[in-house]
Structure 1
Amino acid sequence: MEIKKSAVAGTVESSDIMVTVAPNPEEKIAIELDSSVEKQYGEQIRKLIAETLKRLDVSAAKVTAVDKGALDCTIQARTLTAVHRASEVGEYNWKEIDSWNA
């Protein structure tokens, strides 16, 4: 999936994460994380964002995530939504996405 513009999903409220996805002219994935639980879960958050991007066939993007203790399902949902907004995709294959967690 091609990232065409910058897009945001989520908030900076407690137990949420704000994910911003933007095009990356360097043609790679770059993830910047600011998290209140960085020491405990930073590696897991980055891994989950990267896995979600891979499943969506995103090969070039700048991702900025501001985390306030979000659960994995919220991190995945916010990343998914931001990517779809940034790629200007209007339709989702929910059955495929739902199978990721099966």
Structure 2
Amino acid sequence: MEMKKEALAGTLESSDAMVRIGPSDEPGIQLELESLVKQQFGAAIEQVVRETLASLGVTRARVAIDDKGALDCILRARVQAAALRAAGQVQLPWSPR
């Protein structure tokens, strides 16, 4: 999935996250994370973001996350929504797990 424009998903409310995804000139995923719980859960948050993007086939993107204590399921949903918007797609490619 190619990121064609910059897109946002989420809010800055407690227990949510604001995810911004856009195209990148560099290969790979450039991830910037701001979180209230970064010291304790930063690695886990990064893993969820990278796994979610990999499952969508995103190999090149700039990602900025402002986390306010979101659960993994919320973070996944926000990353998926932002990636779909940035790619100009309207439907998530579903597959059985």
Smaller-chain TM-score bracket: over 0.9
| Structure 1 equivalent of residue 75 of structure 2 | 75
Which residue of structure 1 lines up, in the alignment, with residue 64 of structure 2?
64
Could you list the runs of 5+ residues in structure 1 that have no partner in the other structure?
Answer: none
Q: Which residue is 1:3 aligned to?
A: 3
SS in 1 for 2:76: helix
Q: How big is each residue's C-alpha offset from its partner over 1:50-90, in whole Å with a ceiling of 9 and x where there is no partner? A: 00010101010000000000000000000000000000002
Write the mapping of 1:30-41 to structure 2, written as runs, cut at 5 A.
30-41=30-41
- Cα RMSD of the aligned pairs, angstroms, is 1.0
Q: Identity over the aligned pairs, expressed in percent?
A: 45
Report the number of matched residues.
97
TM-score (normalizing by structure 1): 0.91
Match of 1:49 in 2: 49
Q: Which has the higher strand share?
A: 2
Name the CA distance, whole Å, in 2 between partners of 1:16 and 1:7.
17
Take 1:32 and 1:68, find their aligned partners in 2: how far apart are those partners?
14
* TM-score of the aligned structures, taking structure 2 as reference length: 0.95
